[in-house]
Amino acid sequence: MVIEPKVKGFICTTAHPVGCRENVRRQIEYIKKLGENHAPKKVLVIGASTGYGLASRIAAAFGGHADTLGVMFEKEASGKRTATPGFYNTKAFEEFARAEGLYARSINGDAFSKEIKEEVIHTIQKDFGTVDLVIYSLAAPRRTMPDGTVYHSVLKATKEPYRQKSLNLKDNTVSEAEIPAASEEEIEATVKVMGGEDWFDWIESFNNAKVLSEHAVTVAYSYIGPELTYPIYFNGTIGMAKKNLHEYAEKIRKTLNTSAYISVNKGLVTQASSAIPVVPLYFAILYKVMKEKGCHEGCIEQIGRLFHDKLFGTQVITDEQGMIRMDDYELREDIQTEIKTVWDKINSENVTTLSDIKGYWEDFYQMFGFGLEGVDYSADVEV
């Protein structure tokens, strides 16, 4: 069938298999051009099908010649419904990797569950022996516990409701959004979903099963962002979860004796980040300012630089808190000063000139495989 984008708010309910494949191909091409990195050879990526996780899998495989095992939660096509983009991305990745003689296996299921952890351990034992690098790149809306309890993460402020300019994704207008303050329960639930407990559980179960190699490293991705977005991000419910994730890095190092890092990445349009109020408007301005200054990066450029320069160089490059800062360009003073100036002036009338709203939507559509040059969107495709 001919597949067209169907956008509903911050989500697109269709995905284009050929476009997704092209998206993966381009990322592979970028990594190859960047040159080899020293990523280890047996790599597991949890959350490997889109965004930062997919970029990590590509950087490990095509920059470091690594065999990769990926975990994701994606839907297959059924009837006239297309699969989710991560499903198509994964198929394409596997095809490209195997064509180069690389091992690429993917496990599609709930990473929070005991069953998937067991399946991953079994696969490592069978195919790898041990694993050298575990990337934790989950962005999930909910977590089901072994006893059936379900925690839902929320994107809210914490102490008090917060009013701020926000981009209306339906019609690209700018208006004030009121973001409510979360209850204690909602904060706790968000920490359960997006905090570090599950990351710890993974590494602990690997330790118990003795499937980590001697110098194994694990890295989880985080975001801090500028003061401008603190009320909704860093001091919001998601920020509480991220602080908890940071604490777990320490806990993994101390109690599990495993090298664990947090990489604080740049803010980028992904399926996860599009859902956060206020943030898309900040991103649209950030894109414009960073593109003008020639330092804009997407997921693959960020992870390419992480693997190449900061994680697998002669030593891991961190800040004084031990975190890897891939948000170094985003938080540069000149960039943030310019964003603040624009922020005060931006409104529905000038949003297209003062921000890179075009670039925002280009990235958004491309995540679902649309708007990629060279893809014939009028052609019939097999979903």
Contact between 223 and ligand NAI by CB under 6 A: the answer reads: yes
Picking from 91, 6, 7, 13, the residue whose alpha carbon sits closest to that of residue 49 is: 91
Give dist(CA 250, CA 188) in Å, integer.
Answer: 20
**Amino acid found at 52:** Y
Residue 274 C-beta: closest distance to ligand NAI, Å = 9
H/E segment holding residue 181:
none
Cβ nearer to ligand NAI, comparing 161 with 355: 355
Report the residue from 71, 121, 169, 342 that binds ligand NAI according to the rule CB under 6 A.
Answer: 71
Picking from 340, 242, 270, the residue whose alpha carbon sits closest to that of residue 89 is: 270
Contact between 222 and ligand NAI by CB under 6 A: the answer reads: yes
Residue 246 C-beta: closest distance to ligand NAI, Å = 12
Q: Which residues pair with 78 in a beta bridge?
A: 81
Picking from 374, 211, 361, the residue whose alpha carbon sits closest to that of residue 280 is: 361
Structure tokens at 198: 């599950």
Q: Which stretch binds ligand NAI (CB under 6 A): 20-28, 221-229, 248-256, 345-353?
A: 221-229
Cβ nearer to ligand NAI, comparing 36 with 227: 227
Structure tokens at 155: 């994107």
Q: Which residues pair with 69 in a beta bridge?
A: 44, 105
Give dist(CA 234, CA 204) in Å, integer.
Answer: 27
Residue 145 C-beta: closest distance to ligand NAI, Å = 12
Cβ nearer to ligand NAI, comparing 213 with 234: 234
Residue 224 C-beta: closest distance to ligand NAI, Å = 8
Q: Which residue is nearest to ligand NAI (CB)?
A: 51
Cβ neighbors of 95 (< 8 A, separation 6 or more) are none
Residue 50 C-beta: closest distance to ligand NAI, Å = 4
Cβ nearer to ligand NAI, comparing 27 with 50: 50
Cβ neighbors of 348 (< 8 A, separation 6 or more) are 172, 173, 174, 175
Give dist(CA 211, CA 125) in Å, integer.
Answer: 7
Contact between 73 and ligand NAI by CB under 6 A: the answer reads: yes
**Amino acid found at 61:** A
Report the residue from 151, 221, 248, 370 that binds ligand NAI according to the rule CB under 6 A.
Answer: 221
Site string for ligand NAI, 99-138 (x = CB under 6 A): -----------xxx------------------------xx
Using CB under 6 A as the binding rule, the residues of this chain from 230 to 289 that contact ligand NAI are 265, 267-268, 270-273
Residue 360 C-beta: closest distance to ligand NAI, Å = 12
Residue 100 C-beta: closest distance to ligand NAI, Å = 22
The number of residues in the chain equals 383
Cβ nearer to ligand NAI, comparing 116 with 346: 116
Q: How many chain residues are in contact with ligand NAI, going by CB under 6 A?
A: 29
Contact between 51 and ligand NAI by CB under 6 A: the answer reads: yes
What is the Cα 217 distance to its own chain's centre? 19
Give dist(CA 104, CA 160) in Å, integer.
Answer: 47
Cβ nearer to ligand NAI, comparing 164 with 302: 302
Contact between 304 and ligand NAI by CB under 6 A: the answer reads: no
CA atoms within 13 A on the CB side of 166: 18
Contact between 74 and ligand NAI by CB under 6 A: the answer reads: yes
281 close to 273: Cβ distance less than 8 angstroms = no
Cβ nearer to ligand NAI, comparing 213 with 230: 230
Kindly list the catalytic residues: 233
What radius of gyration do the chain's Cα atoms show? 20
In this structure, the strands spanning 11-12 and 7-8 are antiparallel
Return residues touching ligand NAI (CB under 6 A).
Answer: 47-53, 71-74, 86, 110-112, 137-140, 221-223, 265, 267-268, 270-273
